[in-house]
Structure 1
């Protein structure tokens, strides 16, 4: 659009007999075109914006100093404030605008300078600066409001995104977010062979806790247990509330034995922790089913096997991990049964 505009005005100046003015405008059209070609070749947005600002700044300097046609050149300067704030930020745009104001003052006050060929009346100068100052302030206020609104929208979007992937009660990931992370980890496993494991955890006899101590106490237990999970797992691990009193922990780059060790540490931590709600002491234990991707072909198989192992742990008496880990002292190694 800028190129078409410059070429069109340059052509008008040519037919009006102002050949120097037309050549100058066409030259600026070429510079704008080169700037666009540079961006198309490099996709460097910062360099493209900087180059465009330099070209536009030189163009407006020329229009003010030469007067353009019939001394109307300075009127095109009204395009500059909104363009400046659009291409830069409030601070940089204001600084560049003040510099342009200074340049206009120099041109208006010192018409004898060698690069200045236009003279303006005092009435035109007063009107020009008054209207330009008003426009600049108006553009500043609009841009500041736009940035504030944009910041609020981004904050709202981030809050909605967080709410969409976070369990409100525990602050852990929710089932939806965990499914996405499982899919991502499974894709990584298929690409590079990095094994991972999961632990499906259930709070033992949680319905009894709700019935005996109340649902508020049950919520306190869930929150306290979530804090324990965060303290036990590694930074690379991800814990989620899978549903109700069930939790799922994703353990990247973790073998089955390593996952069993972590699950056992969490089980022991829960058994040793005093859960309280109000003045009531609530006994809490967990059971967990652990499975590695090495023992499953798909994510569904992985989740089903973890669920089977969890059921086995509960059938065996709760407060334990399945598959069971036993120590072979004679070999000094761990094995899963």
Structure 2
């Protein structure tokens, strides 16, 4: 159950990221196409071609999200954006305004690549921009910018990068806190708060899963319905705190006596349900006697009192045409018989 919840959270997070990346690819495609179209009426043919190519690349990224892998689309988007920014800084764009577009790189990088990889990529990106801007003209002819413009551009970019990283860190922290709170609520919903065992709702869900799985494999499934004998007398004589101590210690004892694939659940009050996959009723009886003897020999120490308790157990094996409710009802009837026959026993 918890594994399914984890997968559900993961798939929801990926879905949200895919939506944002899809939106960015559509926006990027639209803007670059529009600017390329406007460029058709100007005299900068190279810039127009670059913008149309960028628009086509963003279209490919959008199609990859729909048909293939989100990681591929993310890499296409971020690194094609870097290349476009490098060209705009190198060429100057329209009227030397090309460098102004680099400010969109910071928030996109930390969101698409994550905080750590995003910061590293931004550092490499900024170093490359510096190399392009300070490249000597005698080596390669490129757009010229004043030193004041360069300094203000770098300071502004660093400031925006810091704010973007801070926001991404805060977002990640909030997301982790939300996941932790959600996990705690899931634990409360699926676990008994006193014994920390699976509760009735969780046990019912596990039974349905085991029934479907074991029926496919044609394997047996047995359950044990356990009830503490004269538990009300313990509460009346020693108090409810002593009763809680008895329940928690016996819960740990039950867990120690069963296998890893088995499930121990608090069914209600002083009743416990033990689910035994791949176990026939004959095999279950061996396990049941072991549990009954362990409980009978166990002493619960509470304050200055030594409390001895026994249990009665009903066994039921799932048949082909039986529902889960019928399985539990059969175990309950067997438990009643064990009580009727004198308690501290297993039936059948």
TM-score when normalising by structure 1: 0.92
Determine which of 25, 29, 32 is the counterpart of 1:3.
Answer: 29
Superposition deviation, residue 276 in structure 1: 1.6
Superposition deviation, residue 245 in structure 1: 0.2
Structure 2: distance between partners of 1:116 and 1:190: 75
1:31-76 CA distance string (max 9 Å, x none): 222222233332x122221222221111111111111111111111
Determine which of 235, 252, 260 is the counterpart of 1:235.
Answer: 260
- Which has more radius of gyration? 1
Gaps of 5+ in 1: 324-337
Structure 2: distance between partners of 1:49 and 1:230: 47
1:113–1:97 Cα change, 3 Å: farther
Structure 2: distance between partners of 1:113 and 1:61: 19
Structure 2: distance between partners of 1:225 and 1:116: 82
Alignment of 1:20-99 (within 5 A): 20-42=46-68, 44-99=69-124
Superposition deviation, residue 113 in structure 1: 6.9
Gaps of 5+ in 2: 1-26
- Secondary structure (helix, strand or coil) at the match of 1:297 reads coil
**Does 2:123 match 1:101?**
no
- Secondary structure (helix, strand or coil) at the match of 2:208 reads helix
**Does 2:245 match 1:220?**
yes
Alignment of 1:284-303 (within 5 A): 284-294=309-319, 297-303=322-328
- Secondary structure (helix, strand or coil) at the match of 1:202 reads strand
Superposition deviation, residue 213 in structure 1: 1.1
CA RMSD of superposed structures (Å): 1.4
- Secondary structure (helix, strand or coil) at the match of 2:40 reads helix
Paired residues, what number?
A: 322
Structure 1: distance between partners of 2:37 and 2:139: 27
Contact 1:173 1:240 in 2 (8 A): yes
1:8–1:258 Cα change, 3 Å: same
TM-score when normalising by structure 2: 0.89
